[in-house]
Chains A and B, each alone.
Chain A
Amino acid sequence: MTYLAQVINSTIREITPILLVALCAGVCSKVQVFNIALEGTLLMSAFFAFLTHYFLRNIFLSVAVAMAVAMCMTLIMSTFIVKLKGQPMIVGMALNTFARGFTTFLLSVIFHTKGAVNPSDLKGLTKFDLPVIKDIPFLSTVFGSLTVIDYLAFALAIAMFIIMYRTVIGFRLRALGINKSAAGSLGINVPRYQILATTLSGSMIGLAGCLLSLGRNAMFIQDISGARGYVALAANNLCKGHPLGAMISSALFGFTTALARSLQGTAIRQQLLQCIPYIATIAAMAFYNAYARAKAKRRSL
């Protein structure tokens, strides 16, 4: 029973960073900016969240810095793609490669290590215990040691849904993503909308970065993002950029990651376990596409 509660708890904590990144990916895909730099953005913001906290010991400032860094990365990405008409794939991969090299470099210059920094005296994000739930045995473990940002992730998913599907600004963003020239013909400054929307949504990757480096304990490991950016991209593809759908698809990937982790130490080979989330990605995409095609076929008959 406790074991199950722990699995659920660790699943939730796997879900939230993916969800936050997927929400940003959702906005980017709705406004037709193909953002593959999610991974690098996540890594950079995780690193700078940790760095700020390490030197200044101020959790709020760390979160703010992480968000700012993520927004900068996204701004660079969207400016290059939208304004300078760069190939999205090249721009994204360049930023990802840069993030990986830059964080590794600073890690070795500042902390003289290439692996992990785990200062024992540094606390992570404040844990937030729900008032009544913390006294119920099973649920207290399920919702144990979650941070404000974990809860915020789900609230943001709902907020993003309302923004994108109920407000005027969301309507315009979705519309211009469907047909840029139609929006432009009515006097909308399409590039400005695209850059602003992607940059603002980039702040959510900053929050995800904080969860990675400050979520449990404050620590930074080389490549701490661990392909979550790509997984989020897949999660977003699966839900077609719908914020509420992102909760479900992120849950799928969070669950498989947690599953892989909980199976560690069993007879199954480590490398195989690490494949689980990615195999699930491919399987989910394949199933979804097959389903969508079948549905389209039924409609056309």
Chain B
Amino acid sequence: MVFEMKHITKTYDTVVANDDVSLHLNQGEILSIVGENGAGKSTIMKILYGLEKPDSGEIFVGGKLQRFHNPSDAMAVGIGMVQQHFMLFEQMTVAENIVFKNELKKGPFMDMERTVETVRQLSERYGLKIDPAARIADCPVGLRQRVEILKILYQNANIIIFDEPSAVLTPLEVEALLETIRGLAKAGKSIVLITHKLQEVMAVSDRVYVMRQGRVVAERMAADTNMEELAMLMVGHPLASYEIDPPKPGATLLETKGLSLVENGRQVLSGISLRVNAGEIVGIAGVSGNGQSELIRCITGLEKSTGGQVLVGEKDVTNRSVREIRDAGLAHISEDRYVWGSAPEGTLEENTLMARQDEMPFSSRGVIHPRAIREYAQRLIQGFNVKASSPAQKMRELSGGNAQKLIVAREMSLDTPVLICCEPTRGIDIGAMEAIHSRMLQRREAGAAILLVSSELTEIMSLSDRIYVIFEGKIVGEFQRGSMDDKHLGLLMVGGSIEHE
């Protein structure tokens, strides 16, 4: 046993984040901790890493009782953590990032030659390929994560904690990461993986803890369980499978005609024509980076297209301002909840008010009415089960899933005929995901036209009445619900064509 945590309890204000949690990790083992957002899995690892202090309970590392005051204490006994948000020095090189705090010196000077050589050896030893001299700013996300891992290995960590490591990665990078994790375990490191992606859990783990509402509710050997069981344990109730009535499509509410975009001389979108009718959900399937983001930005007015038309209802809104497009009857759950979707430093009230600030009863003659806004915010928070302590809380203090629920609540409560959902459930837990999906289906029943973009193919498949497949900025296929299977879809998404089979 490399570490053991006994009866850990931690409360924030009134919320019990960890309630009598006990867990342990064996030498060379890959342990997964799964649970929804707010289940307490990040908190327990922060306690292990010295970022938080428990109210009660004990931590043993290597059989010895430990008391961590900060991460340095944890690092000193061989615990390292790959944070969800990378902690890197952008303008510095890979090697410099890895040795920071434990620099190789020649008197008072940096010994750069030895630094680069050491880092190269380290990367070869663990098969983590990197260029020690590359600048972080020029490295893609997957490489940055590798640097984070090397940083921890450089500090001689034996226990490596990964906090939602795949959240930011592309599918290919995820593959490489899982391979890395297996390799590290083989090299004798003990791994803790915090995640809610059950495929990854099943792919690499030896053992799994399931957490719910601050408690460990189950412990399973990976070989003795499956994704369905883990998912049930996580949410505490069986997952709803969506029973969708056949669509009753009405008039076309959103249409693009030959929409094109040339960016820096590159054809990002070429002649995209699609239509979304009242009462249907239309999905756009594709590998990330094939023009989905740009397409949505052109439709919603965040970017100016260079050709073609966008119609909302009967109205031509091509390259109009965001305001005009929204006024024509469109709401938009944006791809990045903190960049486009909300103001992280603003309060929940302010964030729910966005786009409605000029309307009665929230304001009149340019003066806002705080009471009406508060009531409205409270209604959305309750109506969508957003876990928040008060409407005056800051947006960034909410967990990702709750922030997303609030944005979804705001955009859906606008009751627009057209709704654009871009990655509506990215990085959030199953409970929140279900809630959002059922709201989308409700809007569909109510006759809204919904355009759904998601990198999760299962999400597209289970919700959409119709699917367009996008590849390199072109629509390469269109399917009705029921007439498609994963294989064909997958083939089209990577540029193959069905006729050639």
Contact = CB atoms under 8 A, between A and B. Distances in A.
Interface of A: 166-169, 171-172, 174-175, 178-179, 181-183, 185-188, 300-301
A207 B265 CA distance: 54
B87 A168 contact: no
Contact of A166 (B101, B109, B264): B109
A179 B92 CA distance: 11
Nearest to B76: A187
Contact of A185 (B71, B103, B264): B71
Interface in B46-89: 70-72, 75, 83, 87-89
B100 A186 contact: yes
Nearest to A165: B110
B96 A171 contact: yes
A300 B137 CA distance: 13
A272 B75 CA distance: 62
B75 A181 contact: no
Contacts of B264: 300-301
Given A178-B92, A179-B89, A179-B90, A187 B72 contact: yes
A31 to B, nearest CB: 13
A126 B264 CA distance: 61
Contacts of B100: 171-172, 175, 182-183, 186
Given A179-B90, A185-B87, A168 B96 contact: no
A187 B75 contact: yes
B88 to A, nearest CB: 6
A186 B264 CA distance: 40
A185 B91 CA distance: 18
A115 B160 CA distance: 68
A166 B265 CA distance: 41
B108 interface: yes
B105 interface: yes
A168 B110 contact: yes
A188 B71 CA distance: 10
B433 to A, nearest CB: 30
A169 B108 contact: yes
Contacts of B72: 186-187
30 contacts: A167-B108, A167-B109, A167-B110, A168-B105, A168-B109, A168-B110, A171-B103, A172-B100, A172-B101, A172-B103, A175-B89, A175-B92, A178-B89, A178-B91, A178-B92, A179-B89, A179-B90, A181-B87, A182-B87, A183-B101, A185-B71, A185-B87, A186-B71, A186-B72, A186-B87, A186-B100, A187-B70, A187-B101, A188-B101, A301-B265
A172 B102 CA distance: 10
A182 B151 CA distance: 12
Given A166-B109, A169-B108, 5 more contacts: A175-B89, A179-B87, A179-B90, A186-B72, A186-B75
Nearest to B86: A182
Contacts of B89: 175, 178-179, 182-183
Contacts of A187: 70-72, 75, 101
A179 B88 contact: yes
Nearest to B88: A182
9 closest pairs, A vs B, by CB?
A187-B72, A182-B87, A186-B101, A178-B89, A185-B87, A167-B108, A175-B89, A168-B103, A179-B89
Contacts, number: 57
A152 B343 CA distance: 50
Contacts of B75: 186-187
B25 to A, nearest CB: 22
Nearest to A175: B89
A125 B393 CA distance: 60
A168 B105 CA distance: 7
Nearest to B75: A187
A175 B90 contact: no
Contacts of B91: 178
B108 A175 contact: no
B110 A171 contact: yes
A132 B180 CA distance: 66
Contacts of B109: 166-168
Contacts of B96: 171, 175
A184 to B, nearest CB: 9
A185 B264 CA distance: 38
Contacts of B87: 179, 181-182, 185-186
A133 B70 CA distance: 59
A182 B83 CA distance: 10
Contacts of B90: 178-179
A187 B68 CA distance: 12
Contacts of B70: 187
Nearest to B99: A171
A249 B110 CA distance: 28
Nearest to A181: B87
Most buried by A among B71, B89, B91: B89
A175 B70 CA distance: 20
Contacts of A179: 87-90
Contacts of A174: 92
Contacts of A301: 264-265
Nearest to A188: B101
A171 B96 CA distance: 9
A187 B88 CA distance: 14
Q: Counting chain A CB atoms within 10 Å of each CB, which of B75, B91, B103, B110 scores highest?
A: B110
B486 to A, nearest CB: 37
B83 A185 contact: yes
B144 to A, nearest CB: 12
Contacts of A175: 89, 92, 96, 100
Interface string B96-125: 100011010100111000000000000000
Contacts of A178: 89-92
Nearest to A300: B264
A168 B88 CA distance: 17
Nearest to A166: B109
A187 B49 CA distance: 12
A11 B414 CA distance: 66
Interface string B427-455: 00000000000000000000000000000
A273 to B, nearest CB: 40
A245 B162 CA distance: 42
A298 to B, nearest CB: 12
B345 to A, nearest CB: 16
Contacts of A186: 71-72, 75, 87, 100-101
Nearest to A172: B100
Contacts of B265: 301
B236 to A, nearest CB: 34
Nearest to A297: B264
A172 B108 CA distance: 12
A178 B75 CA distance: 23
Contacts of B101: 172, 183, 186-188
A282 to B, nearest CB: 27
B45 to A, nearest CB: 14
Contacts of A300: 264
A174 B75 CA distance: 23
A293 to B, nearest CB: 15
Which residue, of A167, A181, A182, has the highest number of chain B Cβ atoms within 10 A? A182
A247 B391 CA distance: 53
